[in-house]
Structure formats: structure tokens, C-alpha cells
Amino acid sequence: MRVGSLDTFRGFIIVMMIFANFGCGNYEYLNHAIWNGLHFADLIFPSFVWIMGVCIPISLASMFKKNLVNRELMLTILKRSAKLFLLGVFLGGGVDLSYLRIFGVLQRFGIAYLVVSLICILTMDRSSPDIDSEIDEPSRLKLYFSDILRTYVGWIFVIIITALHTIIIFSVAAPGCPSGYLGPGGLHQNRSYQNCTGGATGYIDGLILGNHRYQHPTIYRVYEARPFDPEGVVGCLTTILQAYLGVQAGVTLLVYKKHSERLFRWLLWGIGTGLAGGALCGFSKEDGIIPVNKNLWSLSFVLVTSCFAFTFLSLCYVLVDYKKLWTGKPFLFAGMNAILMYIGHEMTENHFPVRWYPHNEYSEDHRHTHYNALLSDTWGAAFWLFVSYYLYKIKYFLVI
């Protein structure tokens, strides 16, 4: 099935990801939060993980119709995950083998896709997701909770994985650091925990990855913190939850045919995840049990950004598929070639005509204002929109 709002959602997110990678016009409140907190750019990556999750049950449903056995399905999933992971290493790994970055954005996509897809293959019912085809007179329970009844076994695995993440961050203590520390280390709190960047997350990632992690984190320029990888190993655990929340939205789309039924459930999930995330962070930036933190991919971060994703998909669905007030263009084009846009952007990010500055940003007399930066960054994102339109016209769509 092809739902216009899904491509529109994905297209908007990939264009905003490109805009954010360029720098968001150097506006601090649009760029990533230094540590705790949630800025505009922090919504992009998790939303992309979430919409990937939405598409997993839709893709698997079409595979189930072909009567493929689990071994064939798993092999297909494994190949795609490996391609994403290796592409990520190629794009962001660097050339110094002693510091080759192993984990990154596409690598995290690949891992989340692999784990969540396997959970779906092993736990989801292969029968038609249409509730009308299941029983002649569906019980009230099946009528209202048919989508959850199809995912609840998978939820057991996802909750266990999420609980494991929570246990790790609150019980594992790095040498010289208190257990449960979630701060940036470095200059934070007068250097009290200078070598504790990211707490258990940073410590375990360091043990596993060593020098093969991100060496220049954003927090360095503020806290002079040690190397920390925002797309490391431990954060993959909560990324699985993020993707599975997307799976839940995708199953709802498959099971229910009425617009009102889909929207009601998406908005209910949006409210639920938003309130749960808010409760964990204490509805504040610093004072909650688990602060909203993109670098750590904290549980509250997953829930709050999933709230945004559920709500934004509902808005796109109303405009594009329900009321048909908008075709989704031009973001629709980008959404149909999102991976190609990301790869192309990563490979040409610092090359003309994709990016340019009216003055030399390194010269002493330059005037690299917000206006100039915003103009350049907006052009960079628009450039790839034009490319996506051209690819749509020639009917070229990259499938990995």
C-alpha cells in the first residue's frame, strides 16, 4: 500500500535533516541542544527512525502475501541492514584506520531495522490484518485493540530491551564516577566528573569501540568533554523502542480502514508517549529522573520525540490522505528517495553548488551573518528537493 502522508512525512524529515546538517542558519535554538534539552534539530533523526518503523509492518505484509518462509525474510532483512551499516561506515568513517568511526546515523538505522524487523517476523500474525476478515462479528475487545493484539508479543521483547537500557544507565558506574550519572563530564559541575562523559553510556561505548567512535562531539566546545559518540552502542537499545513505536503506528494503518479510527489511535499514542516522556524528565530540562537527551538517546527523549512523530503523521494524514487539502508536494518527491538524498547530501555537503558562502567564513573581515548562513543552508536543502523532483520525473528510486 502507498499512503501519501508517509512519503510526505519522510520527505519533510529528510529535507529538514539536510537543513540541520548544514547548520540551521547558525541559530542556536534550531541546532542540536548541547546536552540536555530539545531543539528543532533534535526532532529529525528520531522521527526518521520512527517512520522507518511505520513502514516495516507494511513492507512485511506484502512479503507475507508472497508466502516467503522466515529464512528468506530474515536473509532479505539482514542484507538490507548490512548495506545500511556499511554505507554509514563509508560515509562517516574517515580514512585514519586507527580512528575509523564504526557507528553512525545509517549504522543505527541498520541495527534498529534488523532487530525490529526480526521481532516482527517472529511475533506477528501472518494472516490478513483487516479486522473484518478475522471474524464475522468481531468482539468489542478485538474491535478496539486489534492493532495491539498483533504487536503485544513484540512489545514484551521491546520492553525487556528498554528495561535493560534503564538498568545499565543507572547501575553501571565508570571508574571514578557515580552510578546513574547522566551528565556531559568535562567542565560540568566544576570538573567534579571530568572523565564521566555520558555516564554508563559513554563508558560502555568506550570499552566496546575504543578510538573508533566520534572524536569531536558538540559538547567539547562547551564542556571540553572527552570523545563521545551520540550514535554509539548503548543508545541502540532505546532506538529499538523508537522504531517499534513506529511499527505500532504502521500496524494501526494496516488494521483499521476508517480515517477516524487511525487518527484516534495515533493521537492517543501521541498523548500517551508525550505524558510519559514528560513525567520522566519532570517536564523540565534538568530536574527529571531521565532528562530529554539526544546524545544519550534517553528514554524520555524517545517518548517525547515519538509524541511529535505521532502528532505530525496525524497532521500529514489529515491534509494529504483524509481531507486531501494538499498533495504532499514537494516533500512527497523527497520521501520517495530519502536514502538517496541522504547519501548524496553526505557526499556533496561541502561542494559547490550545493553549499556556498558569500564571504570567506575564516577571514577576519567576513560578515557571515545569520542571514547569509540561513540563505546558504536553505539553498542546500532546496537543492536536494530539486534533485528529488528530477528523479521522480525520470522514475528513478533507490532501493537498498
Residue 81 has pLDDT above 60, yes or no: yes
> Which grid coordinates are listed for 313?
503523521
Confidence grade of residue 388 (pLDDT, cut at 50, 70, 90): very high
The residue with greater pLDDT, 124 or 362, is 124
Mean pLDDT of 86-94: 89
| Contact predicate 252/266, CB 8 Å | yes
Three-class SS of 237-291? HHHHHHHHHHHHHHHHHHHCCCHHHHHHHHHHHHHHHHHHHHHHCCCCCCCCCCC
Lowest mean per-residue pLDDT among 19-23, 122-126, 313-317: 122-126
Question: Containing domain of residue 175, as a range?
Answer: 37-324
Confidence grade of residue 127 (pLDDT, cut at 50, 70, 90): confident
Confidence grade of residue 181 (pLDDT, cut at 50, 70, 90): very high
The predicted-structure confidence for 275-286, as pLDDT tens digits, reads as follows 999 999 999 999
Any domain includes 32: no
pLDDT at 343: 95
pLDDT at 363: 47
Q: Please write down the long-range contacts of 85-91, taking CB distance under 8 Å and 24 or more positions apart.
A: 85/110, 85/111, 87/343, 87/400, 91/343, 91/346, 91/347
Provide the CA 58 distance to its chain's centre, in angstroms: 18
pLDDT at 130: 64
Confidence grade of residue 366 (pLDDT, cut at 50, 70, 90): very low
Any domain includes 363: no
**Burial state string for 162-190 with b = 16 or more CB within 10 A and e = fewer than 16:** beebeebbbebebeebeeebbbbbbebee
In the block, residue with C-alpha cell 548524496: 344
pLDDT at 345: 94
Any domain includes 68: yes
Confidence grade of residue 365 (pLDDT, cut at 50, 70, 90): very low
Lowest mean per-residue pLDDT among 60-64, 111-115, 366-370: 366-370
pLDDT at 352: 87
Mean pLDDT of 181-209: 93
The predicted-structure confidence for 316-364, as pLDDT tens digits, reads as follows 999 999 999 999 999 999 999 999 999 999 999 888 888 877 665 544 4
Active-site position among 32, 165, 188, 212: 32
Average pLDDT score over the chain: 91
Any domain includes 153: yes
281 torsion bin: left (phi>0), alpha (psi -120 to 50), beta (else): alpha
The predicted-structure confidence for 13-27, as pLDDT tens digits, reads as follows 999 999 999 989 888
Per 3-state DSSP, the chain is made up of helix, strand and coil in percentages (nearest 5) of: 65, 0, 35
> Which grid coordinates are listed for 189?
559541575
Any domain includes 25: no
Q: How far apart are CA 225 and CA 196, in angstroms?
A: 9
| Contact predicate 360/354, CB 8 Å | no
Number of domains in the chain: 1
Residue 367 has pLDDT above 50, yes or no: no
Any domain includes 360: no
Decide if 370 is catalytic: no
% pLDDT > 90, the chain: 74
Any domain includes 358: no
Any domain includes 338: no
pLDDT at 209: 94
Rounded to two decimals, the pTM is 0.94
Mean pLDDT of 301-306: 99
Residue 82 has pLDDT above 90, yes or no: yes
**Triad 214, 215, 217: Cα angle to 5°:** 75
Lowest mean per-residue pLDDT among 43-52, 114-123, 210-219: 210-219
pLDDT at 133: 46
Question: Whats the size of the chain, residue-wise?
Answer: 400
